[in-house]
A and B are shown apart, each in its own frame.
Chain A
Amino acid sequence: MDRWPSKWMDLPIGGVINIPGTSTWVKTGTWRSHRPVVDLDKCIKCLMCWVSCPDNSIIRLDDDYVDVDYTYCKGCGICANVCPTKAIDMIEEGGR
């Protein structure tokens, strides 16, 4: 099942949520006012941004470089702050 039943009769009894991880349907990326942009030339693959991101928005690629998933990123800026080489910049959304 990839979506919640539309009729109340089909809901699970007792307020149980029987599908794991349904919060991925909520796109929290709309909260963002600043967006992180990674400069891969400066990335040293330390993965500090990946473990520190509260929204799992840093994608760890196969070679341990990182990318950003803008669907859920709330734009908190932790990744830019923890980066030891300052490879991540926070850019304002909606033009410069």
Chain B
Amino acid sequence: MARQIRRLSEIPREELFVSGHGLCAGCGIPPMVKIALKAVDGPKVVVNATGCLEVATTLYPHTAWRVPWVHNAFENAAATASGIEAALKALRRKKNWKNYKIIVFGGDGGTFDIGLQSLSGALERGHKFIYVCYDNEAYMNTGIQRSGATPVGAATTTSPAGSVIPGKPENKKNLMDIVLAHRIPYAATINAAYPVDMWNKFAKASDYLEKGIGPIFFHYYSPCPVGWRMDSSLSIEISRLAVQTRLWLLYEVDHGKIKINVMVRKPKPIEEYLKLQGRFRHLLQPENSHIVERLKRYIENNWNRLLKLAELDSIY
């Protein structure tokens, strides 16, 4: 049984994701990976889709992982995990192997866009694994190109802010809704500024896998100082601001019942979040105020929708 915690001091010291990796200073991914590997107890296998995490942690001949780890292309992380799960099931039956837990890490490019069909297939077939999407809201590894996860108004190298377009014109894709459409037993959003909440969600997922309940999906808000053009020390602060401005909704869906983990009663103005990041700087100009208004409407609609859904006994 994985342990639920109330204080950070209850987290064990031993690291399964070690130092010396090549991720940028101030990257938001390692805090989540460290907690994920510790909170999911017992033997585990990590499947990693191409992306920042995959490329930067395994510069041959170096690896930052102390768990079995397999590399994948962008599009087939969930498919590989399905295969591993099926193989381990057979080995457990025939050769009495231990119960390995499978964790998949995919970026937003490998989950929202390129890997969506393999993820959808694996969720539909009901393979027992944990899929974690670390969402840094663009293709950061290849040089900050727009993805389906990029929010409206954000400047990227393929949607630069200028006189013709004010950053990306389209809204962010709602991945949680797509995942919940598969009626999976457990899905949640996680955020590095709330590590205890994140640990408890991973521990719960670990217990579910032990009981043979799956698949499980996590959506992680992963700040990227390079791509978002902000100071590297702000990663955790910006994560907290995203929750406090209601831009990032922190909730879990347990067998169809929605629970809001952080109830934001008095949201901070979204401008506080926007002004810290270079990718949104142009939105604070008066001629782009309609984009900020659009973003505010989007946030308000999302929040009200979540409140209504949380009143239901089950959304499935």
Contacts and interface: CB of A to CB of B under 8 A. Distances in A.
Interface centre among A19, A22, A24 (most CB of B within 10 A): A22
Interface string A56-78: 11001000100001011011111
B233 A78 contact: yes
A59 to B, nearest CB: 9
A23 B236 contact: no
Contact of B63 (A23, A74, A76): A23
Contact of B19 (A28, A52, A64): A28
Nearest to B237: A81
A27 interface: yes
Interface string B209-240: 00000000000000001000001111111000
Given A24-B18, A50-B8, A78 B63 contact: no
B118 interface: no
A72 B236 CA distance: 20
A90 B234 CA distance: 14
Given A17-B58, A17-B63, A23-B57, A82 B19 contact: no
Contact of A81 (B31, B65, B66, B234): B234
A48 B11 CA distance: 12
Nearest to A80: B233
Nearest to A59: B13
A21 B66 contact: yes
B236 A82 contact: yes
Given A56-B18, A77-B26, A21 B63 contact: yes
Chain A interface category by residue count: 35 or more
Nearest to B15: A56
A23 B64 contact: yes
Chain B interface category by residue count: 35 or more
A78 B236 contact: yes
A76 B30 CA distance: 13
A10 B65 CA distance: 22
A56 B29 CA distance: 12
Contacts of B34: 51, 56
Contacts of A69: 19
A78 B230 CA distance: 12
Interface string A33-54: 0000000000001111011111
Interface in B4-59: 8-9, 11, 13, 15, 17-31, 34-35, 57-59
Interface string B120-150: 0000000000000000000000000000000
A31 B25 contact: yes
Nearest to A81: B233
Interface in B235-257: 235-237
Contacts of B30: 53-56
A50 B38 CA distance: 14
A78 B20 contact: no
A52 B31 contact: yes
B25 A20 contact: no
Interface of A: 4, 15, 17, 19-28, 31-32, 45-48, 50-57, 60, 64, 69, 71-72, 74-78, 80-82, 90
